[in-house]
Amino acid sequence: MEKIDLTGVRVLVVEDHEDTRDLLQFWLSRLGGVVRTASSALDGIAILKADPAADVIVCDLHMPRMDGCAFVQGLQERGLGHIPVIALTGSASDNALMRTFAAGFRAHLVKPVTADAVARQVQRVLQAHP
């Protein structure tokens, strides 16, 4: 299996669970990613409003106050809809999958995830996104 190199890839992780957020940051940083984190969708939007430099976003789907679908809609409303977003969720149902793609997510990862699965999705989304 080929090693994934995310050197210089700017990733925003939007996740309300601290352990998951920290783990994703660790994994992606270890592969060379430049990772920023947000503990909520509202914080994620604020971060991108202040500095929109992100190549990809990994975003939890179920968060309080504003869920991942509303987050993607908020990005689109602010002219940031060009940044590909990967959904991270505990739901593997067909309904959840259809909902994420309809909302504008580019990929769908089901928790629990592995470092390899996250890295491969980030790489795949970036390759598909010119």
CATH of the domain at 28: 3.40.50.2300
In a domain? residue 6 = no
In a domain? residue 30 = yes
What confidence category does residue 92 fall into, taking pLDDT thresholds of 50, 70 and 90? Answer: confident
In a domain? residue 1 = no
Q: How many domains does the chain have?
A: 1
Q: What is the mean pLDDT of residues 31-54?
A: 96
In a domain? residue 74 = yes
Alpha-carbon distance of 66 to 64, in angstroms, equals: 6
pLDDT score of 130:
61
In a domain? residue 120 = yes
Strand order in the sheet with 10-14: 34-38, 10-14, 56-60, 85-89, 107-110
Task: Name the residue range of residue 105's domain.
Answer: 11-128
Q: Do residues 123 and 4 lie in contact, with contact meaning Cβ atoms separated by under 8 Å?
A: yes
pLDDT score of 106:
95
